[in-house]
């Protein structure tokens, strides 16, 4: 969880309002950091889980692989930015292999997909541990220091993270809505048989979409690496939260993804100030369950089912 | 029905083996198989739900852990009379209660299939985190130690399960009784309706069956037995730790069921015993190898043995039959 960032303490009763503004802005930015990461991780899940109906429990490992890519590049002397470029590539490579070796054979067997991808997740975690050893891996942010935002000062790297995440999301929206490949994806999602009928290679479209989601999750891992504790087991928390994003937000639209991320990320960030992080997690889970009960099709979509 | 007869036959063979085992085993071996049987009970509880409804619960260890912690807290408190009995009851009731709340929202909210799996996965993660961070009650990372063995009065005689043989007999009879009870539930009308719901919930509902309620009751029953297994385990082991509600145990229990054969109830018990044997052997070489192998087992099950080890026999039979026909 992101640590609380405070401005220099100001004394004096007349400064209560700026202090309150400082708190609000800091909380908002912390929430925005978490929401950005959740959106990137959730995007790949929205593709595989929401649209292809594939429950990929190894999705968290794409995040881990991305974070380890940054660590690896830094440990051999490369800069953070090279590592950040390597992160989505690493995620894509792992995702592509996973799709090719396992998932494409199991499209008609959902429970088998759950078991097999969980097995892959265990193998990847333990493989990373064997390759890189026990313990947390240090990743240094590309820029230290803070940025003055008038109401508060905030770590510059987090602002960059938010900006990159937003740009990536914008890019994905444009890709899906404006390109011919995006059109293929939307067609396959709406009706697989019809898509095949009009000559779209659905297998290939699925494979590319899955790999793409893995790459975005890898990017998220790279972005979060300087802030998080980089461990082989780090993926599972992102996995659980990202699934909640998709379930709460409802599948099938970028709007749902944003709504789900805001719900889960915002609630987590706000609760983290009041109660311990694990209790906050439990409350978010309960809230998500209740939200699903009340709006089975997601917050963003209509309540009808 | 031939299938029923086969099942009862295998069950009887297992019971005879369990009765004969103490004649050949020393005290340590007895405790090993006793602990494995408790995990077998846990596996059977998951199979009762997963095998009949086709819905996978990925956080079943949460109920095991809840049962274990309740049992530990009750028996470690000197002020509570009949601690063993109340502890077991509390463990069963606590696990059932949590399952009832979560199940109500999910089943009546129309959550099925993968969605259910994910939510229960998160539930398991959170239970483990809660066990670690709520250290004033749960003892944090190190857990609680010094949990006394089960002891209670039957009439005038006092049953004390601190010895190896009595505790083995006690656990083995509970496991046998529960597995038999679960089997008779799931082969009867209840199980038939669950199968109907699994095949087509809309049609089952159209025939007048309250599908969400059936699923909920099955889930609660399954969780209650997982809680019972947890309570038994902490008394036998003498300690409770966050691992007992952790993701790894949730994962392992799925492997036990999948290897033993989903929907057979007896297979998961055998699967639990066999795999724990393997785990102990492998972990003695290198502890970090086990999760790696566990992952490989998952992938192998899915691609090679989708119906578990008990299906090898049926497969061989059909293979031989096919060869004979070919000749």
- Residue B109 above 90 pLDDT? no
- Residue B117 above 70 pLDDT? yes
Instruction: State the pLDDT at residue A303.
Output: 39
Instruction: State the pLDDT at residue A66.
Output: 94
**Residue B288 — pLDDT band, cuts 50, 70, 90?**
confident
- Residue B131 above 80 pLDDT? yes
Task: Tell whether B31 is covered by a domain.
Answer: yes
Instruction: State the pLDDT at residue A296.
Output: 67
Instruction: State the pLDDT at residue A17.
Output: 64
- Written as six digits, the tokens of B154 are 């039957």
Could you tell me which chain B residue has the CA closest to the CA of A53? B114
Within chain A, how many helices (H) and strands (E) appear?
11, 2
Q: State whether residue B262 is helix, strand or coil.
A: coil
pLDDT tens track for B58-97: 889 999 999 999 999 998 887 777 778 888 899 999 999 9
Instruction: State the pLDDT at residue B156.
Output: 64
Distance from CA of A45 to the nearest CA of B (A): 12
> CB B126 to CB A282 under 8 A?
yes
User: How far apart, in whole angstroms, are the C-alpha atoms of residue A18 and residue A153?
Assistant: 12
Task: Tell whether B314 is covered by a domain.
Answer: no
Instruction: State the pLDDT at residue B306.
Output: 72
Q: Residue A288: list chain B partners with CB under 8 A.
A: 119
User: How far apart, in whole angstroms, are the C-alpha atoms of residue B22 and residue B148?
Assistant: 23
Task: Tell whether B195 is covered by a domain.
Answer: yes
> CB A55 to CB B114 under 8 A?
yes
Residue of B46, B126, B136, B258 to mutate, testing the A interface (most A Cβ within 10 Å of its Cβ): B126
Could you tell me which chain B residue has the CA closest to the CA of A280? B126
With an 8 Å Cβ cutoff, the interface of chain B facing chain A consists of 54, 56, 58, 102, 105-106, 108-111, 113-115, 117-119, 121-123, 125-126, 129-130, 132-134, 247, 251, 254, 258, 288, 291-292, 294-299, 301-303, 306
Could you tell me which chain B residue has the CA closest to the CA of A112? B302
- Which residue, B281, B280, B250, B232, is CA-closest to B34? B232
The parts of chain A modelled with pLDDT lower than 50 are 1-14, 302-305
Task: Tell whether B316 is covered by a domain.
Answer: no
> CB B295 to CB A49 under 8 A?
no
Instruction: State the pLDDT at residue A15.
Output: 55
Q: Residue B254: list chain A partners with CB under 8 A.
A: 115, 118
B255: CATH? 1.10.3470
Task: Tell whether B302 is covered by a domain.
Answer: no
The closest CB to that of A125, out of B102, B122, B291, belongs to B291
Q: Residue B305: list chain A partners with CB under 8 A.
A: none
Which residue range is the domain that position B267 belongs to? 2-280
Task: Tell whether B137 is covered by a domain.
Answer: yes
> CB A293 to CB B108 under 8 A?
yes
Q: Residue A127: list chain B partners with CB under 8 A.
A: 292
Give me the number of domains chain B comprises.
1
> CB A123 to CB B292 under 8 A?
yes
What's A30-45 look like in SS3?
A: HHHHHHHHHHHHHHHH
Q: Residue B298: list chain A partners with CB under 8 A.
A: 115-116, 118-120, 122
Task: Tell whether B312 is covered by a domain.
Answer: no
Instruction: State the pLDDT at residue A304.
Output: 37
pLDDT tens track for B11-45: 898 898 888 888 888 888 888 889 999 999 999 99
Judge contact between B80 and B96, C-beta under 8 A: no
**What ipTM does the predicted assembly reach?**
0.75
| Average pLDDT of the residues in B148-166 | 73
Instruction: State the pLDDT at residue A12.
Output: 46
Q: State whether residue A297 is helix, strand or coil.
A: coil
């Amino acid at each position: 969880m992101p640590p609380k960032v405070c401005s220099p303490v100001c004394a004096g009763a007349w400064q209560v309002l700026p202090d309150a503004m400082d708190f609000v802005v800091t909380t908002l930015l912390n929430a925005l950091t978490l929401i950005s990461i959740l959106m990137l991780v959730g995007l790949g899940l929205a593709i595989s889980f929401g649209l292809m109906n594939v429950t990929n429990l190894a999705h968290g490992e794409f995040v881990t692989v991305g974070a380890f890519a940054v660590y690896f590049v830094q440990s051999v002397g490369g800069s953070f930015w090279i590592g950040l470029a390597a992160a989505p590539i690493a995620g894509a490579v792992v995702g592509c292999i996973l799709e090719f070796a396992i998932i494409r054979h199991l499209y008609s067997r959902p429970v088998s997909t759950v078991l097999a991808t969980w097995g892959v997740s265990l193998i990847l975690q333990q493989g990373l541990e064997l390759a890189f050893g026990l313990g947390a891996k240090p990743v240094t942010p590309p820029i230290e220091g803070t940025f003055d935002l008038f109401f508060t000062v905030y770590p510059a790297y987090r602002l960059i993270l938010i900006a990159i995440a937003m740009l990536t999301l914008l890019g994905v929206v444009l890709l899906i809505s404006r390109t011919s490949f995006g059109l293929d994806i939307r067609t396959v999602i709406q009706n697989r048989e019809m898509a095949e009928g009009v000559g779209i290679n659905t297998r290939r479209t699925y494979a590319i979409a899955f790999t793409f989601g893995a790459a975005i999750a890898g990017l998220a891992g790279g972005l979060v690496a300087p802030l998080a504790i980089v461990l082989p087991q780090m993926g599972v928390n992102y996995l659980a939260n990202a699934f909640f994003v998709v379930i709460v937000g409802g599948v099938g639209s970028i709007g749902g993804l944003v709504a789900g991320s805001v719900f889960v990320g915002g609630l987590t960030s706000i609760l983290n100030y009041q109660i311990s992080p694990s209790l906050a997690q439990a409350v978010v889970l309960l809230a998500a369950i209740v939200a699903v009960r009340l709006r089975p099709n997601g917050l963003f979509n209509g309540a009808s089912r | 029905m031939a299938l029923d007869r086969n099942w009862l036959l295998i069950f009887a063979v297992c019971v005879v083996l369990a009765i004969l085992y103490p004649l050949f085993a020393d005290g340590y071996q007895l405790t090993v198989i006793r602990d494995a049987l408790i995990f077998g009970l846990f596996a059977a509880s998951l199979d009762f739900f997963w095998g009949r409804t086709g819905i996978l619960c990925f956080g079943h260890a949460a109920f095991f852990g809840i049962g274990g912690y309740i049992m530990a807290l009750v028996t470690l408190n000197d002020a509570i009379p009949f601690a063993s009995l109340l502890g077991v009851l509390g463990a069963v009731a606590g696990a059932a209660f949590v399952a009832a709340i979560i199940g109500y929202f999910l089943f009546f909210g129309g959550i099925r299939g993968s969605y259910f799996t994910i939510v229960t996965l998160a539930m398991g993660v959170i239970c483990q985190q809660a066990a670690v961070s709520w250290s004033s009650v749960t003892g944090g990372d190190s857990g609680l130690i010094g949990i006394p063995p089960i002891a209670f009065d039957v009439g005038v005689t006092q049953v004390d399960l601190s010895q190896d043989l009595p505790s083995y007999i006690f656990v083995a009879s509970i496991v046998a009784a529960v597995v038999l009870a679960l089997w008779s539930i799931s082969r009867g009308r209840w199980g038939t309706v669950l199968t109907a719901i699994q095949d087509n919930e809309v049609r089952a509902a159209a025939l007048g069956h309250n599908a969400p309620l059936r699923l909920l009751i099955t889930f609660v029953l399954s969780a209650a037995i997982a809680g019972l297994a947890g309570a038994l385990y902490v008394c036998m082991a003498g300690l409770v730790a966050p691992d007992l509600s952790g993701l790894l145990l949730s994962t392992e229990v799925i492997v036990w069921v999948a290897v033993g054969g989903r929907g057979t109830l007896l297979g998961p018990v055998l699967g639990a015993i066999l795999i724990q044997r393997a785990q102990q052997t492998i972990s003695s070489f290198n502890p970090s190898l086990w999760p790696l192998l566990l992952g490989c087992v998952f992938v192998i099950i899915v691609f090679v043995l989708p119906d578990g080890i008990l299906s090898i026999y049926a497969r061989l039979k059909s293979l031989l039959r096919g060869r004979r026909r070919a000749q």
